[in-house]
Amino acid sequence: MSLKEFNDLAELDPAAVESLLKLARRLQDRPEPQALAGKVLALLFLSPSLRTLSSFQAAMLRLGGGSFVISPDMSIHGLETRSGIVMDGAAAEHLREAVPVISSYADALGIRAFANRSSLEDDLSDREYKAMRELVTVPLINMESAIQHPCQSLADWKTMDDLGIPRQGGKFVLSWAWHPRALPLAVPSATLHMAAMRGMDVTVAAPEGFELPEPIMARARAAAEHSGGSVRATNDRAEALEGAQVIYAKEWSSTRHYGDRLADAELREQLQDWCVDDPWFGTTAPDCRLMHCLPVRRGVAVTDRVLDGPRSVVIQEAQNRMWGQMAVLYQMIGPGA
Ligand code: CP
């Protein structure tokens, strides 16, 4: 199965996901240090990263290839992202030239685009990422856009497989978590879809005003219908957590007040008890795990005692980013292409 793009896990059929997971495990067990010899991966970061940046670089090194990173923080000419504007401000370079130039030096390109968080419609349609996609002439990897994070989802799927968490019938709770700022919908959207594709019984638990948008829910319900799983949403956290085998905590914006920073802040002000702590596990399955994509604010989204305790698998998730991405690169520009 060769890959020309890796934009959204939902664009792959279940057999293709299975094949990537199998390859990731194989590369973990039996290294192939020359598989990508002579290959170059370009990494364009338009927003900050620790895991994605380092796991892609490590993945290329482990497979014998190389990578280079471009971000607006570096000593470049700034990067203008808006269309149709007169560039008389600080940035002297536009993405319309930068993306094809960077692509021309590489065999594949990864882009982290992020959400602008002003228009829900624009972010749900991944408008900015799709516009950049048009400029790319080599295989492309979505390293997180307004509404997708397929590399995180692949790693999370593998992490649950590694831990023996059941696919069919596994009880997965995606829970909103407290954060002082309005964060994007990419991880909750991608995570919901991944768990639904995996055949799990998924509950989204979120306070009023933070429900995931209906198009995201509908897409996940359709995936669950196909996989034999189920998807539902509730504002009742205590009820959602009963019997959970996984609590996946994630912070996200108010969808009722999307793009309205003050209204969002007012709504979340009273929600500081949505910080995952030991009592959350009172009625879950005894071996319920805590998942989070990281970075996580300790004592804000999740307490120290949960993060430092045996339930937390956040480091395994982060490590699986590298194995999963190695499989993607192998199929995209390596022997599997
Ligand atoms: N989970 C994740 O994508 O982490 P970074 O933002 O650090 O890359």
Q: What is the pLDDT of residues 91-129, one digit of tens each?
A: 999 999 999 999 999 999 999 997 888 999 999 999 989
Q: What is the mean pLDDT of residues 236-241?
A: 98
Is a pLDDT exceeding 80 seen at residue 1?
no
What are the pLDDT digits (tens) for 295-326? 999 999 999 999 999 999 999 999 999 999 99
CB–CB of 160/194 below 8 Å? no
Q: What are the backbone dihedrals phi and psi of residue 94, each rounded to the nearest 5 degrees, phi first? A: -110, 150
Distance 247 CA to ligand 1 centre (A): 19
Q: Could you give the 3-state DSSP secondary structure of residue 161?
A: helix
Domain ranges of the chain: 5-149+318-333, 151-317
- Specify the pairing of strand 108-112 against strand 246-250: unpaired
- CA nearest ligand 1 atom 6, residue: 49
Distance 228 CA to ligand 1 centre (A): 30
Q: Give CATH for domain 5-149+318-333.
A: 3.40.50.1370
Tell me the chain's radius of gyration from C-alpha atoms: 20
Among 45, 51, 54, 191, the mutation site with the greatest number of ligand 1 atoms within 8 A of its Cβ is 51
Half-sphere exposure in the Cβ direction for 81 (13 Å, CA) = 18
pLDDT of residue 99: 96
Distance 85 CA to ligand 1 centre (A): 30
Among 43, 44, 46, 49, the mutation site with the greatest number of ligand 1 atoms within 8 A of its Cβ is 49
**CATH level 2 (architecture), domain 151-317:** 3-Layer(aba) Sandwich (3.40)
The percentage of the chain sitting over the pLDDT mark of 90, rounded to a whole number, equals 94
Give the C-alpha separation, 7 to 325, whole Å. Answer: 13
Does 151-317 match 5-149+318-333 at the fold level? yes
Which atom belonging to ligand 1 lies closest to the Cα atom of 47?
Answer: 6
**Pocket-forming residues, ligand 1, beta carbon under 6 Å:** 49-52, 144, 152, 293-295
Distance 190 CA to ligand 1 centre (A): 14
Distance 315 CA to ligand 1 centre (A): 12
Average confidence score pLDDT of the chain: 96
Least confident of 56-60, 74-78, 121-125, 277-281: 74-78
What are the pLDDT digits (tens) for 217-236? 999 999 999 999 999 999 99
Give the residue ranges of DSSP H helices in 202-337. Answer: 214-227, 237-241, 261-268, 304-307, 314-333
What are the pLDDT digits (tens) for 13-66? 999 999 999 999 999 999 999 999 999 999 999 999 999 999 999 999 999 999
Which atom belonging to ligand 1 lies closest to the Cα atom of 293?
Answer: 1
